[in-house]
Homo-oligomer: A and B are copies of this chain.
Amino acid sequence: MKTIISLSELHATRRDLPGPVGLVPTMGFLHAGHISLVQRARSECASVVVSIFVNPTQFGPGEDLAKYPRDLPHDLALLDAAGADLVWTPTPEIVYPPGFQTWVEVADLTKGLEGEVRPGHFRGVTTVVAKLFNGVRPDRAYFGQKDAQQAAVIRRMARDLDFPVEIVVCPTVREADGLAMSSRNTYLQAEERQAATVLFRALSAAKSAYERCERDAETLRRIMREAVTVEPLARLQYVSCADYETLEELETVKGKALLSMAVYLGKTRLIDNVILE
């Protein structure tokens, strides 16, 4: 496994990689969720490239950029074991050199949910992913379903801008008690960690109701709200029952839909979702 920092060395190395090339973009501090993406890429591609970059432009003011967890040696050991071929770890100065001023923005899909409570977040995501696509030129790129809106936004961006990249969205990997894997879980105090299962419990309760043929979206949202309310350590930010493609809030669930939520446990903000189909 080769590790590269500069963009010019990335371009030079990329030229010699056999295709198809799979890209797994990450912000590091890797967990089993990331590794599942690497394994999926490994099983489908001749070459697997992983990027590790804590992207400053997707953090809002007051968000946790400075204290975002990092452990590059551990990340590299995990990626080596998972069979990655190339790891790109650029610095912020390489990705955003002086004078940088170009942004890629998806308009409608970024208005609600995470986009509403984290203004500018998706502009940072789509811009850095566009740069990764141009730098690595992958044939396929792998993203986790845990960031459901991000996956929808990137699918849209790739389609709209004609990137010749297949976007592969992989299932959320969960701890034994249902908590979705996230680098931010490391922030949780012991009691908060226990309480954090409330997201999956709330989503599961609403999904069960759906499977019992409940189709009223507001009822599903109420079930999630009530499940979070009974957990004293949890503070609900939003719940959503939205169309899977457009992410518009539903009145009645008809086609494929997305149940999603954001919840604070203390100062730690967690998101999770399940798909209804």
Taking beta carbons and an 8 Å cutoff, which residues of A are in contact with B?
7, 11, 99-109, 126-127, 130-131, 134-135, 137, 156-157, 160-164
Contact = CB atoms under 8 A, between A and B. Distances in A.
Contacts of A107: 101-103
Nearest to A95: B162
A111 to B, nearest CB: 10
A134 B104 contact: no
Given A11-B164, A134-B163, A162-B134, A104 B103 contact: yes
Contacts of A109: 101
Contact of A131 (B102, B103, B106, B161): B161
Contacts of A127: 161
Given A101-B160, A131-B161, A134-B162, 13 more contacts: A99-B156, A102-B104, A102-B105, A102-B106, A102-B157, A102-B161, A103-B104, A103-B105, A104-B130, A104-B161, A105-B105, A131-B162, A137-B164
Copies of this chain: 2
A47 B249 CA distance: 49
Contact of A156 (B11, B101, B137, B160): B101
A157 B130 CA distance: 12
Contacts of A108: 101
Most chain B CB inside 10 Å of its own CB: which residue of A126, A134, A156: A134
20 contacts: A100-B160, A101-B106, A101-B107, A101-B156, A101-B160, A102-B105, A102-B106, A102-B156, A102-B160, A102-B161, A103-B105, A103-B107, A104-B104, A130-B161, A131-B160, A131-B161, A131-B162, A134-B161, A134-B163, A135-B162
Q: Shortest 7 CB-CB distances between A and B: which pairs?
A: A102-B160, A101-B107, A134-B162, A135-B162, A131-B162, A102-B106, A101-B108
Nearest to A100: B160
A170 to B, nearest CB: 23
A4 to B, nearest CB: 14
Most chain B CB inside 10 Å of its own CB: which residue of A99, A102, A109, A127: A102
A102 to B, nearest CB: 4
Contacts of A7: 162
A164 to B, nearest CB: 7
A256 B37 CA distance: 49
A7 B160 CA distance: 12
Contacts of A164: 11, 134, 137
Contacts of A126: 102
A163 to B, nearest CB: 5
Nearest to A106: B102
Contacts of A156: 99, 101-102
